């Protein structure tokens, strides 16, 4: 009896693992096919620009407002801590490094997954449910090249720009709270930040992170949309999966990238 239950448990576990591996393989083939058939998206760049507008420009409000508040909170929390050690002038460094290295790419990525990733999945899923994708195939137009690839590249291009704007807005928020509200010396705030933040080690690594997150979120979003069962429940489930999987992927990738970039011989 107990043996049967254990066997059933392992069979279910094995089935789950096999099914997820199969899906990962399918998603990888999908990514390969999409990248190979990105000629249309890149040759007819207005198609991609349209998607940059929908994924990037329409996400600006949430990114900028969130960046401002995160920066202001960093200013408050950072000042409280630094003041204990008499180094409140280093507030600019703390705010800038926190944002550029970590919070900018990660929080912007999470917001991007929720705002743009879910929209991309829902749009592609609904196009599938309403036979628009089948119609395109019957018109001898490859839907992956015409619909999916522009949305993927639109997301990949938008993400680093949004993360950059998030960080800039965050630094501005830290400045407002630290310098204008609390009274930290303005010269020290900016000069220490300028001296401590390195273009390659900090900013470029942050840009690389946000670019990787952009690829991950956009890939997950377009794949979930294209693979969604063509029903209301199917699209709803795919949209949820996009947000959950993207968020987990961002956090896991952030750990891996941070370990590669800022530890060992490369760390400071």
d(CA 71, CA 34): 37
Residues binding another protein (CB under 8 A) = 123, 126-127, 130-132, 134-142, 146
Residue among 263, 268, 262 at smallest CA distance from 101:
262
Cβ at position 145, least distance to another protein in Å: 10
Toward another protein, which CB reaches closer, 2 or 138?
A: 138
Toward another protein, which CB reaches closer, 76 or 129?
A: 129
Toward another protein, which CB reaches closer, 142 or 201?
A: 142
Cβ at position 94, least distance to another protein in Å: 44
Cβ at position 141, least distance to another protein in Å: 5
Tell me the Cα Rg of the chain. 22
Toward another protein, which CB reaches closer, 37 or 176?
A: 37
Toward another protein, which CB reaches closer, 144 or 220?
A: 144
Cβ at position 25, least distance to another protein in Å: 21
Query: What DSSP assignment string belongs to 190-236?
Result: HHHHHHH--IIIIIIHHHHHHHHHHHHHHHHHHHHHHHS-SSHHHHH
Which whole-number Å values give the CA distances from 172 to 95, 114, 225, in the listed order? 10, 24, 37
d(CA 116, CA 52): 10
Cβ at position 136, least distance to another protein in Å: 8
């Amino acid at each position: 009896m107990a043996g049967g239950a254990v066997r059933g448990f392992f069979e279910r576990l094995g089935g789950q693992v096999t099914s997820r591996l199969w899906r990962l393989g399918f998603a990888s083939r999908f990514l390969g096919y999409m990248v190979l058939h990105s000629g249309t998206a890149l040759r007819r760049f207005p198609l991609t620009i349209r998607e940059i507008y929908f994924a990037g420009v329409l996400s600006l409000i949430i990114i900028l407002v969130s960046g401002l508040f995160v920066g202001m909170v960093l200013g408050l929390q950072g000042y409280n801590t630094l003041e204990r050690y008499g180094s409140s002038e280093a507030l600019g460094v703390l705010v800038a490094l926190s944002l550029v290295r970590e919070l900018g790419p990660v929080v912007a990525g999470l917001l991007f997954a929720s705002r743009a990733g879910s929209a991309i999945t829902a749009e592609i899923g609904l196009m599938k449910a309403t036979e628009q994708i089948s119609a395109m195939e019957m018109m001898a137009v490859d839907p992956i090249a015409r619909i999916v690839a522009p949305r993927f590249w639109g997301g990949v291009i938008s993400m680093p720009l949004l993360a950059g704007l998030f960080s800039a807005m965050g630094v501005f928020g830290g400045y407002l709270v630290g310098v204008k509200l609390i009274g930290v010396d303005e010269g020290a705030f900016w000069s220490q930040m300028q001296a401590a933040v390195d273009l390659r080690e900090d900013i470029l690594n942050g840009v690389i992170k946000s670019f990787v997150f952009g690829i991950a979120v956009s890939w997950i979003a377009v794949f979930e949309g294209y693979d969604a069962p063509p029903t209301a429940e199917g699209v709803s489930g795919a949209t949820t999966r996009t947000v959950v999987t993207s968020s987990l992927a961002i956090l896991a990738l952030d750990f891996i990238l941070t370990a590669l970039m800022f530890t060992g011989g490369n760390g400071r």
